[in-house]
Amino acid sequence: MTPRPSVEATRRPANAEEALVVKSRAEGLSFYYGAVRALKDLNIEIREKRVTALIGPSGCGKTTFLRCFNRMHDLTPGTRYEGRIILFPDSIDLVDKGVDPIEVRMRIGMVFQKPNPFPKSIFENVAYGLRVRGLRSKPRVEEEVERALRRAAIWDEVKDRLDSSGLSLSGGQQQRLCIARALATNPEILLFDEPTSALDPIATARIEELIAELRDQVTVIIVTHNMQQAARVSDYTAFMYLGELIEFDNTSKLFTNPSQKATEDYITGRYG
Amino acid sequence: MSEPNEGHTFKAYDGALSDLRLRAHAMGLLVAEQVETAVRALLESDREAAEGVLARERQINAYQTEIEAESFRLLAQRAPVASDLRMVLAISRAVTDLERAGDESKKIARFALASAGRMSGGPSRVMHRSLRHMAELASEAMRVAVDALDRGDARVAHDVARLDRELDQEFETALRQLMTVAMERTRLLRPIFDTVFALKSLERIGDHAKNVAEHVVFLVSGADVRHAGRDLPARGSQH
């Protein structure tokens, strides 16, 4: 088994003063599915090159919130945003109608619950996004594909079969391939929507390990139902309930001494 | 999701936490009783009481082993968080202090047995008042701390800290008096030594009671006040 990095390598001191840069900020964000207000006036800052976990019971709005960041809702008719999600440093409003969702998705990648590689070769799965970005030079594409596969910690497993179908890989490998695909375009934020819910514990540990490695390179927002996973991989945790942000804090603080009773009840399993 | 209720969704988890707390309380009551009995044995040269303390010491050790094993199992199986995690940790830590306070009672009981066996009389004749006073303070500190642990009440932590301070002062005073006696009446050296050890044990019991109170503060508020100086913060309330 691959040795895990030391605690020092994966955890920052809980109370160390950090020069935190805000990568994105939701300001008075509400979201509507038709007449239903699924998100209610969210205000939250996402710190750069940190992992932020969104937790809460089913229907609390965490996935809805996550999907706002790369305009996934634009594909659903009858939806509407209120408020803003500012992306720094250029201060663009991600949910502004004037901002091109394709451009947003280039800068903000997403990895879904179920691995969804294209029915193409492993190489093409990763190269696709690069070509969409306009990269044509074959050696450059090869270089970037290798780089992305290495960053996603799957290069050693696939380097001898880059022409095999992405669908021939195991579930965990497929998910890491999807992460490589998302990383290929050098996104500034990577969104994970319950990325390990379909995986076994070993494959889950590999993804978590990968997220721990990525935290120094990219800002991560992860939705998870597994609270221990949130506790393990994230620096900050937001607890949501009924479309509202109930509590947002350092993960270590939130899981040892939450300020809100609703958070305490949820994370300790006291909801009937 | 339905409205929050009093207990965990998984009822067996509630049962395990409640059982842990009850056992820690039973252990604490037994330790407080051991302190009182050991000092009575010493003051009244009561061999039977002293032997009873030594016999019950095994029960305290058994409690410690059981409670720590149960805490370990809970951590492994339930991965407790927030107040549940603090409770398991606080009880685990408190049990160590309770066991050590039990050990101190055992030491006092041994002095009681040794002095009861000597024809010259026990140390109680030399330092009766100090022993009795320190015994009262130590027992009270232990009882208050154990009660606070059971109820999750951090407010009384202050009372325990005050009792511990009194114990420390009383110990210093008694030590000075005993030194004077020792210099004047060298034939009493042995009972004086016994008394000093017994007083020291009582002073240590006060420290352990204060530690238990600090674990209660942690349980309730999450604050670690173990090295925060003599005064405990008035944070937290009834749990």
Q: Which domain holds residue B101?
A: 11-221
Residue numbers in A near B7 (CB within 8 A): 270
Q: What is the CATH number of the domain that holds B148?
A: 1.20.58.220
Counted across chains A and B, CB pairs separated by less than 8 A come out at 56
B13 touches chain A (CB under 8 A): yes
Number of domains in chain A: 1
What's the pLDDT at A242? 96
Least confident of A107-111, A162-166, A197-201, A248-252: A197-201
Contact yes or no for B86 and A59 at CB 8 A: no
Question: Tens digits of per-residue pLDDT, A141-168?
Answer: 999 999 999 999 999 999 999 999 999 9
Is any Cβ of chain A less than 8 angstroms from the Cβ of B168?
A: no
Over residues B18-39, the mean pLDDT reads: 94
Give B229's pLDDT tier (boundaries 50, 70, 90). low
Percent residues over pLDDT 70 in chain A = 93
Q: Which residues lie closer than 8 Å to B4 by C-beta, 6 or more apart?
A: A261, A262, A265, A270, A271, A272
Residue A226 vs residue A8, higher pLDDT: A226
User: For residue A194, is it within any domain?
Assistant: yes
> For the segment A211-230, what is each residue's pLDDT rounded down to a tens digit?
999 988 999 999 999 999 99
Residues of B in contact with A201 (CB under 8 A): none
Q: Out of B2, B13, B86, whose CB is closest to A269?
A: B13
Give the Cα separation of A143 and A148 in Å (integer). 9
Q: Is residue B135 part of a domain?
A: yes
* Residues of chain A found within 8 Å of residue B13, distances taken between Cβ atoms: 269
Residue B226 in any domain: the answer is no
Residue B159 lies in a domain: yes
* Tens-place pLDDT, residues A182-210: 999 999 999 999 999 989 999 999 999 99
Chain B residue with the nearest C-alpha to that of A227 = B81
Average pLDDT score over residue span B13-32 = 94
Highest mean pLDDT among A250-259, B110-119, B221-230: A250-259
Note the pLDDT of residue B186. Answer: 83
- Say if A123 falls within a structural domain: yes
Instruction: Verify whether the Cβ–Cβ distance A57 to B1 is below 8 Å.
Output: yes
CB-nearest to B7 from A228, A264, A270 is A270
For residue A262, give its domain range: 21-267
B155 touches chain A (CB under 8 A): no
Q: How many domains does chain B have?
A: 1
Helix (H, G, I), strand (E, B) or coil at A117: coil
* Alpha-carbon gap: B32 to the closest alpha carbon of chain A (Å): 31
User: Which residue does chain A place closest to B10, by CA atoms?
Assistant: A269
Cβ pair A261:B4 closer than 8 A: yes
The answer to whether B80 faces chain A, any CB pair under 8 Å, is yes
Contacts of B5 in chain A (CB under 8 A): 270-272
User: To 10 degrees, the CA torsion angle through B158, B159, B162, B164?
Assistant: -110
CATH code for position A72: 3.40.50.300
Cis peptide before A77 (omega within 30 of 0): no
Residue at B3 is within a domain: no
Query: What are the phi and psi torsion angles at B31 (to 5°)?
Result: -65, -45
Q: Residue A11 pLDDT > 50, yes or no?
A: no
> In this complex, is the C-beta atom of B14 within 8 Å of any C-beta atom belonging to chain A?
no
Neighboring chain B residues of A231 at a CB cutoff of 8 Å: 81
Please give the ipTM for the structure prediction: 0.77
Report if residue B27 sits inside a domain.
Answer: yes
Query: What is the strand order of the sheet A36-47 is part of?
Result: A36-47, A22-33, A79-87, A92-93
A232 found inside a domain: yes
